[in-house]
């Protein structure tokens, strides 16, 4: 039975009973024409936690006060700054502390990890990903393949949805892994698809890759801070994520990386090396001969970009305070309600149709809901924008929305539904 109605009093009751509703006040909600927008693009750039400005000022003050001595005397010493993130990041993605590190940008980390985990040989040279992967991932894979002197035709396997669907069946991925088994070096998939919002079964895919002796990793750009994960227990070999989407850490902010503990101590794994990945006790001896720190930290190249990381510290602390399971519970209820409203409006339309392409099962999606607006053009989206809805439009007619449990309310969705219905009828 459907638990939802288009009813403001029901919606207010949901917000009233929501233990996370108080966190909305911890974020800056953009205001346009004197009104708070309905912000559904936390999957693209999360909103700013209010604590960020003060935290960055702290680092600026310490820099002003100490200069280089801030590496050791700042309130949060910069020498070991990245270690402040270890426990929170490990909890966020279900890892052990020696399996995670914050460094670089996402695509940079993807390259660093592929350098270690995509090591094609004559017999085993293929890499498998999802079709229509996020462009940066496609470019990364393409250039890695070319770097090894191989061609895309020979080395890249893309698994797509079946005819008439936008969802990639797990069994099709498993079948492809098995079919290319002996020639497969690596599987690298976006853990949550940026377009459809589909969550891939990372545990099952990893097991299938391991069965044919391939490494398996995930780009978690749309997964981190969106869905709970157990990367360690799932046996994932490597993963990386950005922190500016669901993790609310500011434009282009620092990226996270995961290397499973069994790989982290594998000294035979080749990698790009830099001084920050070198044995901490000997880093400043400045001697030749790279000896990596065991664990994910051993993939670091450079010293920490403290100012960018500070925003992530504030944001990650909020995740740690609330925990992924409470966030997930609210996220599913928000997106269930959003789906209800879209279906309700679609059923009443005299022309056109709103088709939800995101899987409906909870296991197969995060907070994002992607909708194909059949029979509508960009004018519909422009009208939503005009009415204060910030969502995402993909040509020719897809609207992506991600109600975020930290700062979106049930009333946001109710108000959105009123605007959408009017816009569809106009
Ligand atoms: C957002 C996103 C990126 C962006 O990469 P950056 O290096 O952070 O600019 C890459 N891959 C995926 C899957 C994404 O969703």
Give tens-digit pLDDT for 72-89.
999 999 999 999 999 999
Of ligand 1's listed atoms, the one at least distance from the Cα of 242 is: 8
Measure the CA–CA gap between 398 and 355, rounded to whole angstroms.
9
The DSSP line for 27-74 is B---EETTEE-EE-BTTTSPPPBTTHHHHHHHHHHHHHHHGGGHHHHS
| Rounded Cα distance, 122 and 130, in Å | 23
Residue 25's Cβ-count burial label (10 Å; 0-12, 13-18, 19+) is exposed
**Per-residue DSSP letters for 174-220?**
HHHHHHTGGGEEEEEEESB-TTT-BBP-HHHHHHHHHHTT-EEEEE-
CATH 3.30.565.60 assigned to 8-50+324-425 = no
pLDDT of 287: 83
pLDDT for residue 390: 98
Specify the pairing of strand 35-36 against strand 31-32. Answer: antiparallel
How many other CB atoms sit within 10 Å of the CB of residue 179? 13
What are the residue ranges of CATH 3.90.1150.10 in the chain?
8-50+324-425
Give residues (CB < 6 A) around ligand 1.
105-107, 134, 136-137, 190, 194, 219, 221-222, 242
- 274-333, pLDDT tens digit by residue? 999 999 888 778 888 999 999 999 999 999 999 989 999 999 999 999 999 999 999 999
pLDDT tens profile 253-275: 999 999 999 999 998 899 999 99
Ligand 1 atom with minimal separation from the 44 CA: 1
Query: Measured in angstroms, how far is the CA atom of residue 140 from the centroid of ligand 1?
Result: 11
Nearest to 301 by CA among 116, 144, 147, 138: 116
User: What is the per-residue DSSP string for 334-364?
Assistant: HHHHHHHHHHHHHHH-SS-EEEE-S--SGGG
Q: Ligand 1 centre and the CA of 106: distance in Å? A: 6
Residue 323, token pair as written in the block: 């925990």
| List of E strands, 66-121 | 100-103
Q: What is the pLDDT of residue 282?
A: 84
How long a stretch of residues is the chain? Answer: 426
- 239 close to 220: Cβ distance less than 8 angstroms: yes
Q: Are 196 and 226 in contact (CB under 8 A)?
A: no
Q: Output the CA 111–ligand 1 centroid distance in Å.
A: 12
Question: In the chain, which residues have pLDDT < 70?
Answer: 1
Q: How far apart are CA 75 and CA 43, in angstroms?
A: 32
Atom of ligand 1 nearest to the CA of 107: 7
pLDDT (0 to 100) of residue 92: 98
Reference 366, options 167, 218, 228; nearest CA is 228
- Which ranges in the chain are annotated with CATH 3.40.640.10? 76-322
With tokens 């003050």, the residue in question is 61
pTM of the complete model: 0.97
May I ask the CATH architecture of the domain 76-322?
3-Layer(aba) Sandwich (3.40)
CA of 222 relative to ligand 1 center, distance in Å: 9
Residue 102 token pair:
């914050």
Distance set, CA 120 to CA 67, 126, 147, 157, 190 (Å): 46, 7, 11, 14, 21
* Strand residues in 235-368 grouped as ranges (E): 238-242, 255-259, 353-356
């Amino acid at each position: 039975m459907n638990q939802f109605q288009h009813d403001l009093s029901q919606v207010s009751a949901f917000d009233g009973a929501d233990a996370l509703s108080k966190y909305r006040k911890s974020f800056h909600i953009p205001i346009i024409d004197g009104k708070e927008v309905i912000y559904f693009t936390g999957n693209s750039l999360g909103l700013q936690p209010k604590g960020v400005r003060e935290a960055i000022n702290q680092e600026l003050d310490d820099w002003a006060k100490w200069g280089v001595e801030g590496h050791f005397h700042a309130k949060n010493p910069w020498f070991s700054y990245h270690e402040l993130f270890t426990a929170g990041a490990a909890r966020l993605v279900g890892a052990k502390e020696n399996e995670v590190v914050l460094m670089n940008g996402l695509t940079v980390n993807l390259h660093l990890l592929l350098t270690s985990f995509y090591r094609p040989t004559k017999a085993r040279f293929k890499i498998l990903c999802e079709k229509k992967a996020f462009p940066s991932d496609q470019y990364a894979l393409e250039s890695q393949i070319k770097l090894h002197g191989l061609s895309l035709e020979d080395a890249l396997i893309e698994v797509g949805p079946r005819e008439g669907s936008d969802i990639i069946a797990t069994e099709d991925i498993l079948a492809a892994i098995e079919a290319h088994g002996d020639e497969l070096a690596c599987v690298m998939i976006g853990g949550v698809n940026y377009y459809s919002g589909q969550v891939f079964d990372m545990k099952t895919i990893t097991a299938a890759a391991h069965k044919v002796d391939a490494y398996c990793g995930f780009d978690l750009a749309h997964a981190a801070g969106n869905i709970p994960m157990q990367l360690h227990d799932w046996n994932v070999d490597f993963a990386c994520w950005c922190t500016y989407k669901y993790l609310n850490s500011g434009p282009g902010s620092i990226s996270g990386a995961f290397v499973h503990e069994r790989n982290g101590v594998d000294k035979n794994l080749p990698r790009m090396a830099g001084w920050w990945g070198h044995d901490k006790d000997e880093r400043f001896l400045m001697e030749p001969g790279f000896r990596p720190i065991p664990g994910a930290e051993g993939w670091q190249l450079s010293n920490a970009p403290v100012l960018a990381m500070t925003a992530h510290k504030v944001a990650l602390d909020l995740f740690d305070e609330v925990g992924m399971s409470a966030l997930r519970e609210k996220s599913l209820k928000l997106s269930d309600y959003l789906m209800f409203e879209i279906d309700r409006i679609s059923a009443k339309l005299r022309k056109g149709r709103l088709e939800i392409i995101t899987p409906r099962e909870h296991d197969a999606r995060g907070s994002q809901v992607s909708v194909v607006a059949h029979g509508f053009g960009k004018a519909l989206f422009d009208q939503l924008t005009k009415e204060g809805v910030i969502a995402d439009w993909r040509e020719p007619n897809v609207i992506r929305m991600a109600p975020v449990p930290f700062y979106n309310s049930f009333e946001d969705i109710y108000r959105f539904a009123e605007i959408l219905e009017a816009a569809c009828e106009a």
